[in-house]
């Protein structure tokens, strides 16, 4: 029996690995082409290649659920096409035993995903985004969709780039009064964090009042803000690419500032429930092979797997924004698709058994 367990695990695990290699290879090629289109200043071919390499852990994390699902579908499907599953069952091996053997590689994938998503991908993604921003000219006085926008009280903040260790590039500060009239606009080429406070360097401030405007130049200025390097390191990365602890920290910070943190809570629950979602998708794949996809071609299995995977993803992507717009708990937006797929998987497994 152990040999059969190892054989099923090897077949499914090998298929998962092959799916990940194919998907990641295509994704990296298209990502590199996209980065070349974004070339500017010192950000050229070698820098684009390094950027894509640094984002590899995040891409692996993103595709692990798909790799587990498709790998299980392809691995067990190939065994079904060769009548190996029929022989194994004829030898007295129960359906639950085969399903558990196929689930073990998926559990390894889930564990790998947790480690990468919590400890590796957020760090490399932060480095990739900060180095790209600096290479593209982060010290320029440009406040655009790129970089980080943040509001603290009556001051709107834009930062072009955040480097690890408490170094900022291109800081724009727009301060408004109680009637939403601009009082001042400041730009600092650089900011460093030392002795618990931020020090702005090469600061240009434009003061606005009823009499007109006045421009003030300062070589250095202390910036009084509640933003710490830890919080800013969270801001530079998209919510879905942060660690679970980072999402919780920043969402709590936004709550203290009386700002809307629903996007970060949604990403928090999505990452927290990712292992459960992956396990449920693998269960669905196993139930498909022993149920409706038992005797179809491999191409049809792959096509069906892509459709089911996309439906699961789109269901979460649809319910997520709905939870923000309509104000219901984001846990439901993530949990409902998982429960629906889990119910389908259990039902198909019972029919096959």
- 309 and 207 both lie in a single domain: no
Contact 16, 109 (CB under 8 A): yes
Least-confidence region, from 180-184, 231-235, 319-323 = 231-235
- 182 and 231 both lie in a single domain: yes
| Structural domain containing residue 301 | 2-135+263-352
- 131 and 152 both lie in a single domain: no
- 16 and 106 both lie in a single domain: yes
Of the two residues 210 and 110, the one the predictor is more confident about is 110
- Check residue 137 and give its pLDDT: 62
Prediction pTM value? 0.79
251 in any annotated domain? no
257 in any annotated domain? no
The two tokens of residue 92 are 């007295």
pLDDT confidence band for 32 (50 / 70 / 90): very high
- Check residue 298 and give its pLDDT: 63
Of the two residues 253 and 30, the one the predictor is more confident about is 30
- Check residue 141 and give its pLDDT: 54
DSSP-derived 3-state class of residue 202: strand
Of the two residues 60 and 240, the one the predictor is more confident about is 60
- Check residue 195 and give its pLDDT: 81
- 84 and 224 both lie in a single domain: no
246 in any annotated domain? no
Last residue within a domain, chosen from 199, 219, 235: 235
pLDDT confidence band for 296 (50 / 70 / 90): low
Each residue's pLDDT tens digit, 54-103: 999 999 999 998 889 888 888 888 888 888 887 888 888 888 888 888 89
The two tokens of residue 102 are 């196929």
Share of the chain above pLDDT 90, in %: 25
Domain count, the chain: 2
At CA 18, angle to CA 14 and CA 21, rounded to 5? 140
What does the alpha-carbon distance between residue 228 and residue 20 come to, in Å, rounded to a whole number? 37
256 in any annotated domain? no
Last residue within a domain, chosen from 187, 220, 235: 235
The two tokens of residue 305 are 């797997």
pLDDT confidence band for 13 (50 / 70 / 90): very high
- 115 and 152 both lie in a single domain: no
For 170, other C-beta atoms within 10 Å of its C-beta total 24
26 in any annotated domain? yes
Each residue's pLDDT tens digit, 337-352: 899 888 888 888 887 6
Question: What number is the average pLDDT over the span 99-123?
Answer: 90
pLDDT confidence band for 295 (50 / 70 / 90): low
- 20 and 69 both lie in a single domain: yes
- 160 and 231 both lie in a single domain: yes
Each residue's pLDDT tens digit, 118-168: 899 988 988 888 788 777 765 555 545 567 888 888 899 988 888 877 788
- Computed over every residue of the chain, the mean pLDDT equals 84
- 192 and 304 both lie in a single domain: no
Question: What number is the average pLDDT over the span 275-303?
Answer: 78
Last residue within a domain, chosen from 190, 220, 235: 235
Reply yes or no on whether the pLDDT at 321 is more than 80.
Answer: yes
- Check residue 224 and give its pLDDT: 87
- 126 and 9 both lie in a single domain: yes
- 122 and 161 both lie in a single domain: no
The two tokens of residue 324 are 């923000």
DSSP-derived 3-state class of residue 190: strand
315 in any annotated domain? yes
- Check residue 147 and give its pLDDT: 76
Reply yes or no on whether the pLDDT at 30 is more than 60.
Answer: yes
Reply yes or no on whether the pLDDT at 281 is more than 90.
Answer: no
244 in any annotated domain? no
What does the alpha-carbon distance between residue 317 and residue 240 come to, in Å, rounded to a whole number? 12
Q: How far is CA 111 from the centre of its chain?
A: 16
Residues in Cβ contact with 102 at an 8 Å cutoff, skipping those fewer than 6 apart: 8, 9, 12, 72, 75, 76, 282, 286
249 in any annotated domain? no
Q: If we measure between CA atoms, which residue out of 22, 27, 30, 34 comes closest to residue 70?
A: 22
Q: If we measure between CA atoms, which residue out of 88, 6, 20, 108 comes closest to residue 290?
A: 88
DSSP state of 241: G
- 231 and 287 both lie in a single domain: no
């Amino acid at each position: 029996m152990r040999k059969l367990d190892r054989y099923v695990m090897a077949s499914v695990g090998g298929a998962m690995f092959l799916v990940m290699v194919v998907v990641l290879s295509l994704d990296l090629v298209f990502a590199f082409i996209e980065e070349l289109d974004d070339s500017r200043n010192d950000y050229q071919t070698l820098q684009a290649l390094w950027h894509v390499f640094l984002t590899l852990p995040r891409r692996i994390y993103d595709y692990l659920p798909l790799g587990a699902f498709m790998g299980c579908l392809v691995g067990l499907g190939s065994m079904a096409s060769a009548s190996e599953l029929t022989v194994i069952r004829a030898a007295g091996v129960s359906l639950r035993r085969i399903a558990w053997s196929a689930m073990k590689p998926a559990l390894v994938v889930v564990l790998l995903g947790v480690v990468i998503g919590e400890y590796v991908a957020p760090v490399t993604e932060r480095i990739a985004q900060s180095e790209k921003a600096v290479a593209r000219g982060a010290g320029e006085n440009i406040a655009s969709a790129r970089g980080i926008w943040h509001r603290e009280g009556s001051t709107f903040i834009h930062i072009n780039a955040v480097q690890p260790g408490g170094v900022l590039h291109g800081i724009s500060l727009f301060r408004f009064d109680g009637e939403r009239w601009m009082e001042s606009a400041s730009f600092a080429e650089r900011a460093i964090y030392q002795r618990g406070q931020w020090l702005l360097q090469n600061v240009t401030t434009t003061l606005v009042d009823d009499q007109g405007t006045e421009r003030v130049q300062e070589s250095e200025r202390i910036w009084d803000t509640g933003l710490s390097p830890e919080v800013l390191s969270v801001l530079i990365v998209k919510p879905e690419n942060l660690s679970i602890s980072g999402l919780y920290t920043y969402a709590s910070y936004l709550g203290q500032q009386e700002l809307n943190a629903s996007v970060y809570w949604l990403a928090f629950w999505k990452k927290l429930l990712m292992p459960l979602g992956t396990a449920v998708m693998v269960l669905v794949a196993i139930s498909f092979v022993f149920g409706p996809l038992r005797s179809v071609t491999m191409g049809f299995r792959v096509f069906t797997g892509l459709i089911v995977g996309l439906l699961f993803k789109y269901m979460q992507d649809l319910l997520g924004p709905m939870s923000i717009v309509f104000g219901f708990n984001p846990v439901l937006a993530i949990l409902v698709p998982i429960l629906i797929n889990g119910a389908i998987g259990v039902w198909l497994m019972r029919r096959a058994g």
